């Protein structure tokens, strides 16, 4: 199996870091130690300013992991203790969040949950057990406010693949593509409640490289290629198509779907992941790119090149977006009355301009940190009833847990297990939470501007 294009941390290093710890002799145990015991080593990550080359002649100085964008691909075995040592070579405190991993509040990497920050020049060990296989990722969890070089506007993101104990291996090649947007600026804040402030970006990339400057993804006819897509943008959703081909969606946020189904367009809200298999059966050179012409002009996309194919890469816009979570969920969920719930949390999201004209966000009328926590008890079952009373979509993220989408708008859908869900403008979603991971838990919008301006709430176990 071949893997593109991001330098990985090898499986061997990951095994050394965590998997063999249980086999090692305890230091100091026994009477004589004629043989030096092998020492488990952490995976190391260094946060530091790095020059990223989006294309020849287009370079940016950004914060990144290990001098590359995205950071190294971490491949951690499911269920085995992991140990990651992060050094902060930047000039501000940092945290690394392990997105989509149901870990403890201390290693989770969110200051609001009590996770430690890494001071400038400092080092922190993160230890956790990746519980379930799937496409996860890691990224900074700081605030940017109006600094478009900080937090998720920077290059601090990377794939974290939790590998299954047994790999079903129903693909010939694996391609990892992380979308990101660069050179953000805010053109203004609309007064009308029908709209929201949207940063504009000059460049957009997969894996830190503009399409015209990137090596094509090389495939062979007949191959089944597993694409792992990650939207690591700070604020922008992306919709992607590959002319002449269908994406068979097999996992959302790394969790296998009940009903894999072919689509022509994949949409990723900020922080979402989609795993999709493409059967390569239309030889040629094709553009895998965004349906939004502005994002394509900004450089987002990759040429998919069959062996032996020549000529210009072909892009044709898909006739219509067929993206709908409900396609992948199987039979519809039971009605709310049958869910044996311990509580329902209605959560209304509204935009509220501050006295100085900035855009702020409220949940049930109040903003973080003026917002009381929601209380759950361990083992309880709760329904989030998310109601978006604003004119833009929000990628809602819950830390340290998964939730199951059961209804979207007026329609009950088949269960979809996710850690981040894009709620449309003036839309509603019901999602089931099984409170199975005690400890402080952060809920927030993953749109960096929304999160920074109040769109967060704590969930506490009592
Ligand atoms: Cu939002």
- Between the CA of 364 and the centroid of ligand 1 the distance, in Å, is 14
- Between the CA of 217 and the centroid of ligand 1 the distance, in Å, is 33
Q: Answer positive or negative: Cα dihedral of 275, 65, 154, 402.
A: positive
Domain count, the chain: 3
Closest to 131 measured CA to CA, from 448, 401, 419, 445:
401
Same domain, 354 and 302: no
- Choice between 192 and 291, residue whose per-residue pLDDT is larger: 291
| Domain termination residue (choose one: 115, 133, 163) | 163
- Between the CA of 310 and the centroid of ligand 1 the distance, in Å, is 43
Query: Taking 70 as the threshold, does the pLDDT of residue 22 lie above it?
Result: no
- Between the CA of 325 and the centroid of ligand 1 the distance, in Å, is 19
Same domain, 11 and 149: yes
* 416 within some domain: yes
Say which residues have a Cβ less than 8 Å from residue 402's Cβ, sequence separation at least 6.
102, 253, 255, 417, 418, 419
Same domain, 138 and 272: no
- For residue 450, what is the enclosing H or E element? helix 448-452
pLDDT band at 320 (very low <50, low <70, confident <90, very high): confident
User: Can you give the residue range of the structural domain that contains 413?
Assistant: 336-461
Closest to 407 measured CA to CA, from 382, 429, 389, 383:
429
CATH number at residue 177: 2.60.40.420
- Residue 70 phi/psi, 5° resolution? -65, 170
* 355 within some domain: yes
> What pLDDT does residue 356 have?
86
Q: 153's torsion region: left (phi>0), alpha (psi -120 to 50) or beta?
A: alpha
E strands present in 25-165: 43-55, 58-65, 74-77, 82-88, 96-99, 123-128, 134-140, 157-163
pLDDT band at 112 (very low <50, low <70, confident <90, very high): very high
Ion ligand 1 nearby residues (CB, 5 A): 394, 445, 447, 450
- Between the CA of 408 and the centroid of ligand 1 the distance, in Å, is 17
Looking at every residue in the chain, the average pLDDT score rounds to 92
- Between the CA of 197 and the centroid of ligand 1 the distance, in Å, is 10
- Between the CA of 270 and the centroid of ligand 1 the distance, in Å, is 9
* 330 within some domain: no
Query: Taking 80 as the threshold, does the pLDDT of residue 9 lie above it?
Result: no
For residues 161 and 17, give the distance between their C-alpha atoms in angstroms, rounded to a whole number. 15
| Domain termination residue (choose one: 127, 142, 163) | 163
Query: Taking 70 as the threshold, does the pLDDT of residue 83 lie above it?
Result: yes
- Between the CA of 423 and the centroid of ligand 1 the distance, in Å, is 9
- Under a CB-based contact definition with an 8 Å cutoff, are residues 454 and 437 in contact? no
- Between the CA of 393 and the centroid of ligand 1 the distance, in Å, is 7
Share of the chain above pLDDT 70, in %: 91
- Average pLDDT of the segment spanning 338-359: 95
Same domain, 155 and 8: yes
- Between the CA of 299 and the centroid of ligand 1 the distance, in Å, is 25
Query: Taking 90 as the threshold, does the pLDDT of residue 1 lie above it?
Result: no
- Between the CA of 10 and the centroid of ligand 1 the distance, in Å, is 35
Same domain, 340 and 317: no
* 148 within some domain: yes
| Cis before 131? omega within 30 | no
pLDDT band at 85 (very low <50, low <70, confident <90, very high): very high
- Between the CA of 26 and the centroid of ligand 1 the distance, in Å, is 48
Same domain, 99 and 142: yes
Closest to 129 measured CA to CA, from 437, 376, 432:
437
- Average pLDDT of the segment spanning 224-248: 98
How far from the centroid of its chain's Cα atoms is residue 126's Cα? 19
Convert the pLDDT of each residue in 366-418 to its tens digit. Answer: 999 999 999 999 999 999 999 999 999 999 999 999 999 999 999 999 999 99
- Under a CB-based contact definition with an 8 Å cutoff, are residues 129 and 79 in contact? yes
- Between the CA of 228 and the centroid of ligand 1 the distance, in Å, is 24
Say which residues have a Cβ less than 8 Å from residue 166's Cβ, sequence separation at least 6.
none
Same domain, 154 and 182: no
- For residue 173, what is the enclosing H or E element? strand 173-182
How far from the centroid of its chain's Cα atoms is residue 3's Cα? 19
Q: What angle do CA 216, 203, 289 make, to 5 degrees?
A: 40
Structure tokens at 239: 């919709």
* 22 within some domain: yes
- Between the CA of 447 and the centroid of ligand 1 the distance, in Å, is 5
- Between the CA of 414 and the centroid of ligand 1 the distance, in Å, is 25
- Between the CA of 415 and the centroid of ligand 1 the distance, in Å, is 23
- Between the CA of 395 and the centroid of ligand 1 the distance, in Å, is 6
- Between the CA of 443 and the centroid of ligand 1 the distance, in Å, is 12
- Between the CA of 445 and the centroid of ligand 1 the distance, in Å, is 5
- Between the CA of 397 and the centroid of ligand 1 the distance, in Å, is 10
- Between the CA of 193 and the centroid of ligand 1 the distance, in Å, is 14
* 331 within some domain: no
> What pLDDT does residue 304 have?
98
Q: Cβ of 324: how many Cβ atoms within 10 Å?
A: 15
Query: Taking 90 as the threshold, does the pLDDT of residue 103 lie above it?
Result: yes
Same domain, 282 and 179: yes
For residues 363 and 350, give the distance between their C-alpha atoms in angstroms, rounded to a whole number. 7
- What's the predicted TM-score (pTM) here? 0.92
């Amino acid at each position: 199996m071949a893997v593109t294009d991001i330098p990985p941390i090898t499986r061997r290093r990951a095994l050394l870091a965590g998997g063999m710890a249980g086999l090692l002799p305890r230091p100091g145990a026994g009477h004589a130690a004629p043989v030096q015991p092998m020492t488990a080593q952490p995976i190391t990550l260094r946060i530091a300013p790095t020059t990223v080359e989006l294309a020849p002649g287009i370079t940016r100085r950004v914060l990144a992991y290990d001098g590359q964008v995205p950071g190294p691909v971490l491949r951690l075995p499911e269920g085995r203790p992991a140990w990651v040592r992060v050094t902060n070579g930047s000039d501000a405190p940092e945290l690394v969040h392990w997105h989509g991993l149901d870990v403890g509040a201390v290693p989770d990497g969110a200051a609001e949950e009590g996770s430690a920050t890494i001071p400038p020049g400092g080092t922190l060990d993160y230890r956790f057990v990746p519980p379930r296989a799937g496409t996860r990722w890691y990224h900074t969890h700081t605030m940017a406010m109006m600094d478009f070089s900080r937090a998720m506007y920077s290059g601090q993101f990377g794939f974290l693949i939790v590998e299954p104990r047994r790999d079903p291996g129903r693909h010939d090649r694996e391609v990892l593509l992380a979308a990101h947007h660069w050179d953000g600026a805010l053109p203004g804040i609309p007064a009308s409640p029908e709209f929201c402030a949207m940063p504009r970006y000059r460049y957009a990339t997969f894996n830190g490289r503009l399409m015209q400057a990137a090596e094509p993804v090389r495939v062979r006819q007949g191959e089944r290629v597993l694409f792992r897509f990650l939207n690591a943008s700070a604020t922008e959703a992306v919709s992607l198509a590959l002319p002449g081909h269908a994406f068979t969606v097999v996992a959302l946020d790394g969790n296998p779907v009940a009903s894999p189904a072919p689509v022509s367009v994949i949409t990723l809200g900020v922080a979402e992941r989609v795993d999709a298999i493409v059967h390569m059966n239309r030889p040629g050179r094709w553009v895998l790119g965004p349906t939004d012409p502005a994002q394509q002009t900004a450089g987002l996309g990759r040429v998919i090149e069959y062996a032996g194919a020549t000529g210009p890469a072909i892009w044709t816009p898909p006739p219509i977006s067929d993206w709908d979570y409900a396609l992948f969920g199987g039979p519809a969920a039971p009605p709310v009355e049958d869910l044996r719930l311990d509580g329902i949390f209605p959560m209304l999201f509204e935009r509220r301009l501050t006295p100085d004209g900035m855009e702020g966000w409220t949940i049930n009328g109040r903003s973080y940190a003026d917002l009381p926590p929601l209380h759950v008890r361990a083992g309880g079952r709760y329904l989030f009833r998310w109601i978006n009373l604003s004119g833009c979509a929000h990628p809602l993220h819950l830390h340290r847990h998964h939730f199951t989408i059961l209804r979207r708008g007026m329609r009950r859908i088949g269960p979809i297990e996710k850690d981040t869900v894009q709620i449309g403008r003036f839309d509603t979603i019901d999602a089931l939470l099984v409170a199975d991971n005690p400890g402080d838990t952060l809920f927030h919008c993953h749109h960096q501007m929304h999160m920074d301006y109040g769109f967060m709430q704590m969930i506490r176990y009592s």
